[in-house]
Structure 1
Amino acid sequence: MSLVVRARRVVLPDGERAAAVHVADGRIAAVTDFGDVPSGAVTLADDEVLLPGLVDSHVHVNEPGRTDWEGFASATRAAIAGGVTTIVDMPLNSVPATTTVESLHVKRRAAEGQVSADVAFWGGAVPGNLDQLRPLHEAGVVGFKCFLLDSGVPEFPPLDDAGLRAAMTELTAFDGLLIAHAEDAEVIAAAPPPRGRSYAGFLASRPEAAEESAIEALIAAARHTGTRTHVVHLADADALPILRAARAEGVRITVETCPHYLTFAAEDVPDGATPFKCCPPIREVWHREALWAALADDDRPLIDMVVSDHSPCTPELKRLDAGDFGEAWGGIASLQLALPVVWSGARARGIGLDRVVRWMAEAPARLAGLPAKGAIAVGRDADLVAFAPEERWRVGRLEHRHAVTPYADRELHGVVRRTWLRGQLAEGAPIGRLLSRADVPQ
């Protein structure tokens, strides 16, 4: 065995217990009793819990083309510092967008030799690239992202309803996965435009009805085509009954939400505080609590996972000088902070670390088709995290390229003390690998 790590608390697929995790050739070879270890085993401190490395399936790395916003080196260092051992890179905000096989090769070449965590890739579904979906799937992307309204960048236009159904029909032919930014462009066009420093004005410009209408259209298309479908970054709790009904009738649809929707509330966002701007927006406190309830439902959890939607930009694009919500880029930087942020909220609600692991490791790995990730189990990659759940700290310096985040100076519970990637201690060196879907030959 190349490594043995033991702890009084280890979060395993069947619950939490004292255990020793034995690693050989980068994989978990055995999980034994705490005392069943050779000399030289690593023993975690009494206040530490051993978790599987998290999987963040919603990260905008932005390289190449907008590397001044983020980049593979800085993003994956931040991931490792936050206990995230695998990220899945979104197909947009980079130039070129990942909408052709050649653009996937460009992105992989840009990432090569830079990554501290493992990285997989989403493809994009946009007007005019229907003939690229199967080749991208065969090249190893884990699924396809689309927008149902303007994405904010010209190289990644949205799909109309006909384009959506055509893409979904093509994906169904090879059981591909579609993930969708679900806001309705017509509903937003009819709302008052955002202007100035008022957060209430920005919130009114992206009403709840925009999410509900788009999710209804997405469900209708999924029902018609049978496509595996996933709703990204749900903020609107009024959409939950719509999703519940769709699942009850057998529509293949899953749902994620994000740390910022589980932490902040519109009532508390100061005017001019553009680091809080994201789309869909942070909504009122009752939405936040309803999202928590949908995650924590023992019988029928409706929200499957929590992922960061890390979407950074330069400080200038956040318009920190003017605090104008209409002009600022919409996106929240949180990759390094996702685990302590979600754990802080879960802890305050009496929810255990086993649930957090389910939401932030197991479910995203399953969504992305990465069966070697997401759990401490024999045969899985030995991606491990030593986490001190009761240690308190205040958000300061981060590994992200830019420090702009609404979590700045916030006190959180939970510190990542050590991270192992495939059994190797990960300290920011570029030891990560570029991944493909599990059924693609390596």
Structure 2
Amino acid sequence: MAEPAPSARPHAPHRALHAIRQGAHRVDAATPASRDRAVDALRAVAILGVVLGHWLVTALVAQDGALHTASPLQHMPRLAPVSWLFQTLAVFFLVGGQVAARGLASARARGDSCADWLRARLTRLLRPVAALLTLWTVAATTLLLTGASPATLHTLLNLALSPLWFLLVFAALTALTPLVTRLNPLWPLAVVLHVDLLRFGLHLGPSWLGWVNLAAGWLVPYTLGAAWARGELHSRRSAWALLLGGAAATAVLVGCAGYPASMVGVPGSAVSNLNPPTLAAVTFGLAQCGLALLLRDRLRRALARPLAWAAVALVNLSVMTIFLWHQTAMMAVTATGLLAGRLPGLHTAPDSPAWVAYRLAWLPLFLLALTVCRAAFRHHEQGPRRPRNRPSRTVHRHLPPTKSPHHA
């Protein structure tokens, strides 16, 4: 076969770039003017922050014939500010509360029942879980049959299934949306305050008392999102109050009350700010929510560009798939790398800055593996693919009304 003329080769990247731009413009044109693009951007940033955070602070160390989890925060406590950048779950719950409250209000305006709205929302939320559980059931069985050590199996399953705790809490708060849409965020905040006072101040109460904060702690940003949907957080003054008040409270709790500086769990630490959430994690989340609210206008202006909006829309289409499979993607690269021996930044102890540099170099491969997982399992979240000659229901639903109010 004759090779293409050299003069034709440089045009291929231009054609690909032109196709990408055309696709971005189609996505932009199919988005109604009433859609708040800042909400989608915040959701994408929150999930990608969690993914990058896990990839940077979670190490699988090959030792004594098994894989064990470790964290660079355990060996290098000065890296604690990294957790401040990537522990973004509060922003996700803020957006979740806002979207759920607005969705429920729209469903009621259409005459739909709360049960119908909740069924549709939970189906989209929980549908991707079945694929993850199926794959890891097969993987765990295979590992047992091939002689993998129990320690390795426990480590892998713990990492692979750890995203499910977040999903279950989020699903529970979603189910409670009809009851909490008008709940003042100060009430769950007061619960967290009293639980921590009993645990750390008075050293009273049963050992499970802290897990009350698993619901109350994340209910704080979720109810803030519902307040946002009601129009109560539109002023910059309220956003600044959340940011400065939350940051000041967190600084006092960490500096004077003995709370850990890391906003994620650190192996071997006596207290974790995340499992279960502490008052410091909740006040830190308030500061994050305030910053997110302050950035709304800038995000809307930035996402007026079709390419930027198309990238955000792409993440939002598979946000649960990305979240559920990012640990599996990291472990797939780690397991494949074992074929070449113990590789730095992948199988070695995270006890030096060199490990951090090597880990940063592995991130593109983690992203590639996650892209493969997304391509393989995104249909579980998005539902069955429509026939080619059938118009997109999503695009149709989001297009502005053109004929009659019925189409809205």
Q: TM-score, normalised to structure 2's length?
A: 0.25
Q: TM-score, normalised to structure 1's length?
A: 0.23
Question: Which structure has the higher relative contact order (CA within 8 Å, separation 6+)?
Answer: 2
| Structure in which a larger fraction of residues adopt helix | 2
